[in-house]
């Protein structure tokens, strides 16, 4: 099981309110297609971002040339996290 679970200290996550350009850079640097989205701390996961969804909204937002925009926890952009009940992890 240890090969499946990433230690918390090694988790790369995105904070609500980050600029989209920062989020895309985080995806590129992490090399993952999904990243957890948190609010106040990484203990408060509010969803999961998929790179393809972030890129689609990034390109569809016609605020060129700076792109800008921040990541929110709106249901349209964020997938619900899978939550395992406490005590089920060994």
Q: pLDDT tens across 18-71, in order?
A: 888 898 899 999 999 999 999 888 888 888 889 988 888 777 765 544 445 666
Per-residue pLDDT averaged across 6-25, rounded?
88
pLDDT given for residue 73 in this prediction: 56
Distance, in Å, from the CA atom of 38 to the CA atom of 40, rounded to the nearest integer, reads 6
Give me the domains of the chain, ranges plus CATH numbers.
8-60 (3.90.1280.20)
Evaluate whether 35 touches 14 at the Cβ level (below 8 Å). yes
């Amino acid at each position: 099981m240890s090969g499946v679970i990433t230690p918390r200290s090694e988790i790369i996550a995105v904070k609500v309110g980050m600029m989209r350009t920062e989020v895309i850079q985080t995806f590129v640097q992490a090399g993952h297609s999904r990243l957890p989205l948190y609010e106040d701390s990484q203990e408060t996961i509010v969803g999961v971002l998929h790179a393809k969804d972030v890129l689609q909204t990034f390109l569809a937002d016609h605020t060129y040339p700076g792109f800008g925009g921040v990541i929110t926890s709106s249901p349209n952009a964020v997938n619900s996290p899978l939550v395992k009940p406490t005590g089920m992890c060994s």
